Amino acid sequence: MQAVAYTRPSTLESAPGGQRLGLETSRGTTPHGVEDHPRFFAGFLTSPQVASAGLLAVADVASARYYQRQLRSSLDPVVTGNGDRLRFESFSGCGGVYARLDVLAAGLDGGEVGHGTTNVDVNNPLRDALSRIGSDDPLHLRVGPDEMAVTTLDGPVVEKKVPLPDRWLRGFAEAQVTAAGFDLRAELPAAEAVRFLRSLPRADARGASRGAQWVVPAGRVLRPTTRPVPGAVCLPGPERLIALQRVLRHASALRVYGPALTGSAAAASAWEVALPGMRLTLTLSPEASRGFSGEGGVLDALATDEAAEDAELTAVLLAWEPRIDVGDLSAASGLSAERVRAALVRLGTSGRVGYDTAEAAYFHRELPYDAERVERHNPRLRAARDLVRAGAVVLDGVLGTVTAQDGHAQRVRDDAGVLSCSCLWWAKYRGGRGPCKHALAVRMVRRGAPSGQAEVLLDGGVR
């Protein structure tokens, strides 16, 4: 359980000349270090109805489970100030849906945006109040304590205890790694976007998923297809896009992102609704029953000894940028672009960077959670390191042989950097969920970890 403390509940209050929305913050990270209740913004929203609907959509995902719905889920959204925008992020309790509302400079008026990341309180009374906003009367937004509260932060606090599963933090990491491999596949105008999203099936009474579907762009529309033809996009568990219904009447376009499909297996995808001065994006895992936490996209970066040092160097150069340029980081750090990307992946495992598909770029944020949890609870990575320490890996050209303690051997082949293995994991997933422990062990040894000698610590260091 994670204890999240606020000075008071977030509220929407009437005030002379409009309404005031006060979003209370918890302990978070800023350029000045860790602060109990940082303040990121005080000004007006240019489109109050849109912003309220978008914030509710993010809160919907934070409180939802799209798989095993009977289990508890109640995670407060995360807010990041990037200097020119506010980002509100959440993850579903089942770990399969990532939501982000980007309130851009055009959506904010009359105040400077600060820098930092923390949780923000979105309680049930606030949700009810936001859902009743029916006009675009002036709405003042405050993210963080008001001026009077700043002087009395030693007083009583409102504390929530929320579940923080390891797979939730791992999901944040895997989602940004997955999204970094997406390209824009389709863009629909407002009318077609509304028609398409409203035609999607809803979950049945038991919350059962309808499985993966595929759509293919045809001009300015999306047409269903029975199989992943070239150019198609996977729509895994279409009922999981239900949160987008909140903002449909304000949408100006729908943009769809996904990887190039190479087979018939389900794939992740991202669905972005363009709004006045903001964007709302939902990223879906390949299956409703398959959260992002098990995808294995971060394992290669975690298994690289040099990535730990590279990540430390890269982290120093981050400055809460809303758009991280890999080329600029490469020039500033003296690292190759490939090593910078691996470092960013590693930083993502502790929530220190995210990925924005709309801008095809990473952004800086700092989730207030234990960075060591990801590595400590990644069984494939731990098993691969054990194999290396035990001297179980023998290399012979493009082949690697990994022999377990019971004498059973697996063959790993390296074809131009693409590994395959004779184990059951590879036979089942064909690399679709990251490398197996044997392939990871072979890759570690090829990169120079001496078999039976390297002791790799849980925090990523080596001695």
Per-residue pLDDT of 45-101, as tens digits, reads 999 999 999 999 999 998 888 887 655 556 789 999 999 999 999 988 888 999 999
**pLDDT tens-digit map of 289-343:** 887 866 666 777 777 667 778 988 999 999 899 999 999 999 999 999 988 988 8
Q: Which domain holds residue 430?
A: 378-446
Burial (CB < 10 A; 0-12, 13-18, 19+), residue 162, is middle
> Is 462 a member of any domain?
no
Asked whether 153 and 38 are in contact (CB, 8 A), the reply is no
229 and 181 co-located in one domain: yes
Do both 138 and 77 map to the same domain?
A: yes
Task: Quote the strand ranges of 83-196, DSSP E.
Answer: 86-91, 97-103, 108-109, 115-119, 139-143, 158-162, 183-189
Tokens of 122: 């979105």
pLDDT of residue 235: 93
Residue 457 lies in a domain: no
| Residues 6 or more apart in contact with residue 344 via CB below 8 angstroms | 314, 324, 326, 329, 353, 362
- Last residue within a domain, chosen from 243, 269, 294: 294
Domain match, 260 and 204 both: yes
pLDDT of residue 458: 30
Contact 74, 92 (CB under 8 A): no
Query: What is the predicted pLDDT for the residue at 210?
Result: 65
Whether the predicted pLDDT of 460 surpasses 50: no
- pLDDT tens digits, one per residue of 207-240: 555 678 999 999 889 999 988 888 899 999 999 9
In a domain, 460, yes or no: no
pLDDT of residue 169: 72
Kindly state whether residues 86 and 205 are assigned to the same domain.
no
Q: At what angle do helices 437-446 and 379-389 cross, to 10 degrees?
A: 50
Tell me what pLDDT residue 284 has.
95
The answer as to whether 267 is a domain residue is: yes
Q: Are 181 and 244 in a shared domain?
A: yes
Distance from C-alpha of 47 to C-alpha of 105, rounded to nearest angstrom: 12
Select from 324, 354, 373 the last residue of a domain.
373
Q: According to the model, what pLDDT value does residue 363 have?
A: 96
Last residue of a domain, one of 270, 294, 318: 294
> Based on the domain organization, do 100 and 231 belong to the same domain?
no
Tell me what pLDDT residue 1 has: 66
pLDDT of residue 462: 32
Which neighbouring-strand residues pair with 212? 236
The percentage of the chain sitting over the pLDDT mark of 70, rounded to a whole number, equals 86
Residues 320 and 392 in one domain: no
Span of 19-33, 169-183, 231-245, 298-312 with lowest mean pLDDT = 298-312
* Residue at 143 is within a domain: yes
Q: Which of 117, 67, 110 is nearest to 89 (CA)?
A: 117
Q: Tell me, yes or no, whether 203 and 345 share the same domain.
A: no
Please tell me the total count of domains within the chain.
4
Give ∠ CA 283-285-290 in degrees, rounded to 5: 155
How many CB atoms are located within 10 Å of the residue 452 CB?
Answer: 11
Domain of 114, CATH number, reads 3.10.150
Same domain? 241 vs 117: no
> Within a domain: residue 461?
no
Q: For the chain, how many residues are written? A: 463
Spell out the residues 6+ positions from residue 361 whose beta carbon is closer than 8 angstroms to its own.
Answer: 323, 324, 325, 355
Same domain, 47 and 122: yes
Check residue 293 and give its pLDDT. 67
9 has a pLDDT exceeding 80: yes
pLDDT at 208: 52
pLDDT of residue 297: 67
Residue 455 has pLDDT above 50, yes or no: no
Going by their DSSP bridges, the two strands 393-396 and 399-403 should be labelled as: antiparallel
Judge whether 79 lies within some domain: yes
Model pTM?
A: 0.85
**pLDDT band of 150, cuts 50, 70, 90:** very low
Same domain assignment for residues 21 and 152: yes
Question: Does 195 reside within a domain?
Answer: yes
Q: Are residues 271 and 340 in the same domain?
A: no
CA torsion sign for 345, 394, 294, 211 is positive
Contact (Cβ atoms closer than 8 angstroms) between residue 167 and residue 221: no
- List all residues 6 or more positions away from 258 whose beta carbon is below 8 Å from its beta carbon: 182, 183, 185, 233, 234, 267, 268, 269, 270
